[in-house]
Amino acid sequence: MSEMTTSKYIFSGHDSFHCRQLWLKKGFDFVQSGLLFNSEDAVVKLGVGKNMVSAIRYWLKAFNIIDNKDHPTEFGIRLFDTDTGYDPFLEDDASLWLLHYQLVKTGIASIYSIIFNEFRKEKIIFNDGSFLNYLKRIQEINHVLNFNENTVAKDFMVFVNTYKNDEGYNDVEDSYSGILSEIDLLKIIQIEYKDENGKIKKRIEYQIENNDRDKLLAQVLLFSILDNPNYGNSISLNSLEYDYNSPGSIFALNRSGLINKISEIVDKNITFTDHAGIKELQFKNKPNAFSILDKYYGK
């Protein structure tokens, strides 16, 4: 419960709509062409209902695609620009990992930062009830924290729908599937139990376990390290594994997975040393974070 306890928590803003596959590109183009979300024709231009207009605006901010003044961010332009963008239609899994990173790091949608940085480390298998209890415990320490239980319950379901992978769902428009469903971070567990009458029932629980994350690209991991203002030229393996907004926390990486990824990024400027049992990632000349993505996407 470290850094997040000093921040303001936000559990609403999406009107219970999880972010659909095409919303970020659609919203980015809308903003880039100088249109305003509060204009009367926003509904027509975006082709969605009024509540969805505000949800799209919320998700653009949560994913760091636009800033608080509704202007495109550097990340938003580099990813979604039709002519120069890395991957405007999100065809590469690396882009989804980058969006996940931004969602957790930006902290505008508080639940993602709390779950990946704190909650899942304490509660390995969880549900909406255990998450709510966790927030109540934080509230006892941090009286600034105010939340509505119904709002949190809805936010938890939006979180689940963002990552839930409905296998066998093949609609091209993908209007119901969450934007981050394909990176397989959230595991859904069905638990059978007997109620007080001895009747067998099922309940759904969730898990985000640390593993090797074979699908995560080393370049995305390197970008997340270079993008983190708390990291200098020497970073301990412990920091990379456990710190708030570290690769280990955000990507749910175990130590062997983290070391595997690090071994892929080592070059003449980046070394991984072990002195007296202290393992450190060291940069001789620290590259610009986006230069790593420029190279990966061939820009």
Report pLDDT digits (tens) over 15-35: 999 999 899 999 999 999 999
Q: 3-class SS at 207?
A: strand
What average pLDDT does the structure give for the chain?
Answer: 92
pTM of the model: 0.93
Q: So what's the pLDDT on residue 100?
A: 98
| 274: in domain | yes
Beta strands in the chain (DSSP E): 125-126, 187-194, 200-207, 234-236, 270-275, 278-283
Q: So what's the pLDDT on residue 176?
A: 67
Rounded Cα distance between 53 and 55, Å, is: 5
Sheet containing strand 125-126, edge to edge, reads: 125-126, 200-207, 187-194
Q: Which of 3-7, 260-264, 275-279 has the highest mean pLDDT?
A: 260-264
Q: So what's the pLDDT on residue 7?
A: 56
Q: So what's the pLDDT on residue 146?
A: 84
| 38: in domain | no
Q: Does residue 6 carry a pLDDT above 60?
A: no
Q: Does residue 167 carry a pLDDT above 70?
A: no
Q: Does residue 130 carry a pLDDT above 50?
A: yes
Under the banding of pLDDT at 50, 70 and 90, the label for residue 171 is very low
Query: Directed axis angle between helix 255-265 and helix 218-226, to 10°?
Result: 90
Q: Rounded to the nearest 5°, which phi and psi values hold at 23? A: -65, -40
In the chain, % helix, strand, coil (3-state, to 5) comes to 45, 10, 40
Rounded Cα distance between 289 and 224, Å, is: 8
| 272: in domain | yes
Domain CATH for 241: 1.10.10
Q: 3-class SS at 223?
A: helix
Between residues 4 and 251, which one has the greater pLDDT? 251
How do residues 251-274 score in pLDDT, each as one tens digit?
999 999 999 999 999 999 999 999
Q: So what's the pLDDT on residue 143?
A: 78
| 232: in domain | yes
Q: So what's the pLDDT on residue 166?
A: 66
Q: Does residue 228 carry a pLDDT above 90?
A: yes
Rounded Cα distance between 198 and 217, Å, is: 48
Structural contact between residues 209 and 253, judged by C-beta atoms closer than 8 angstroms: no
Which of 32-41, 139-148, 226-235 has the weakest average pLDDT? 139-148
The residue type at 90: L
DSSP code, position 14: S
Domain that holds residue 230: 218-297
Q: Bin 177: left if φ > 0, else alpha if -120 < ψ < 50, else beta.
A: beta
How do residues 184-209 score in pLDDT, each as one tens digit?
999 999 988 888 888 888 899 999 99
9-48: b or e for each residue (b if 16 or more CB lie within 10 Å)? bbbbbbeebbbbbbbbbbbbbbbbeeeebeeeebeebbeb
Rounded Cα distance between 14 and 118, Å, is: 23
Burial-class residue 184 by CB neighbours within 10 Å (0-12, 13-18, 19+).
middle
Element housing 194 (H / E): strand 187-194
Which of 115-129, 134-148, 233-247 has the weakest average pLDDT? 134-148
Q: 3-class SS at 99?
A: helix
Task: Tally the domains of the chain.
Answer: 1
Q: Bin 200: left if φ > 0, else alpha if -120 < ψ < 50, else beta.
A: beta
| 18: in domain | no
